[in-house]
Amino acid sequence: MKNIITYFILIFLSATNCAARIYEEDNPDVIIKELSAEIKIICIRYERQYLQKEQQLSLINEALLNAISVDKKVDLLVQKDQIRTQISLLRYETENEISKVRYLKGLQIIKILYEKVLSLDHHFASVRTLNEINKISNPNQYPEYSKLKEIVAGKRDKKSAFDLTSVLGTNTIVSVVQTFTNMLGSNMTKEEKEKELGNVDCILDFTLRMQNDLNTIYFETAFLQTSNDKMKQEIEILFKDYTKPIGYIATLENCRSNDDWESVTQKMDDYLSRLKSATGTQQYKMQVNLEFPIDRLLQFITQYNNFIDQGGKFYEKFKIILNSYENEKQCETKLPAEYKKLKSDIDVAINKFNVAYKPVEVNGTKMKEILYGLNEFD
């Protein structure tokens, strides 16, 4: 019995750990927290070495004050210069390690945000199309209304009735006006007119009230999709700028398709090795080339956050629009299934914008850590 219980506990823990790993893999906030923790570890480790060197310098300075012979003083000055060189080397190694962590964590964030942008692209491509919006907002698309037009056409006054042109026939308002005009002039009885109107009253009420609102949802969704296309282009340019200094030339799309992230890491290690052996102006330029893309990443994160905030507000607006139909309860059984599906899609989208696509949490302290590698100890 104990073995069985242990077995199920292990399965549960395994599933929990797996879920945690999946969460970390698609959450840039987790990466930023990891960045902060790793920078802190690096700073603490090197801080101890700095203190040791500073203590050695203090002892040498004290010894210099008490030294009498010139040889002793020269020997102490040489040691002092060596320790200062060691401190400079420590500082350089600290910056190198922090640069590597920042760069690789930044690369992880780019990878995650690219997946989110691609997911958004798929989301916008799968929302209601113009034809589907037209289907639920135009009474001419409903069989009940088409049947009414046929009945009216069969009983209209042939002398006073008229047919619309192909252009005006597709216009909702003109089509409804013509149908009612022909109905009034037809030989239908009062009971027949009331019966047929009862079959289409909810359809006409819904489509005439909601047509403009439904079109608004379509066109504003199209705007969001266009904006997301620009986001996709921006992050692909960012990746190009981000990897150019280390000599990686493949596009973000190709890197993702070929799962070539390890090659980027290897290029980064090679670059740091060259940076370590460089001197003077060349070393400074290489360091700047490594730091600049981090700033570009932060700019993109700000752009991404603004877009997600905007998208979430748009969908909140869509929800209000769809819930604004005042006769929904009265006409519930006659409303199109597409309308209910659209409402459900909007709720799903709002949840995605709040959870799956949510903005990246980068406050002042975290921004300094990413941009400058500065860590504020607790």
Q: What is the pLDDT of residues 141-150, one digit of tens each?
A: 888 888 888 8
More confident residue, 251 or 198: 251
Instruction: Look at residue 93 and give its three-state secondary structure.
Output: helix
- Burial grade of 190 (CB within 10 A; 0-12, 13-18, 19 or more): exposed
CB 259 within 8 Å of CB 252: no
Q: Which residue has the tokens 């006659």?
A: 334
Q: Does the pLDDT of residue 340 top 90, yes or no?
A: no
**Other C-beta atoms lying within 10 Å of the C-beta of residue 47:** 13
Average the pLDDT over each of 59-73, 187-201, 308-322 and give the range with the smallest value: 187-201
Whole-structure pTM over 0.75, yes or no?
no
- pLDDT tens track for 29-38: 888 888 888 8
Alpha carbon distance 351, 345 (integer Å)? 10
Q: What are the structure tokens assigned to 88, written together?
A: 């400079």
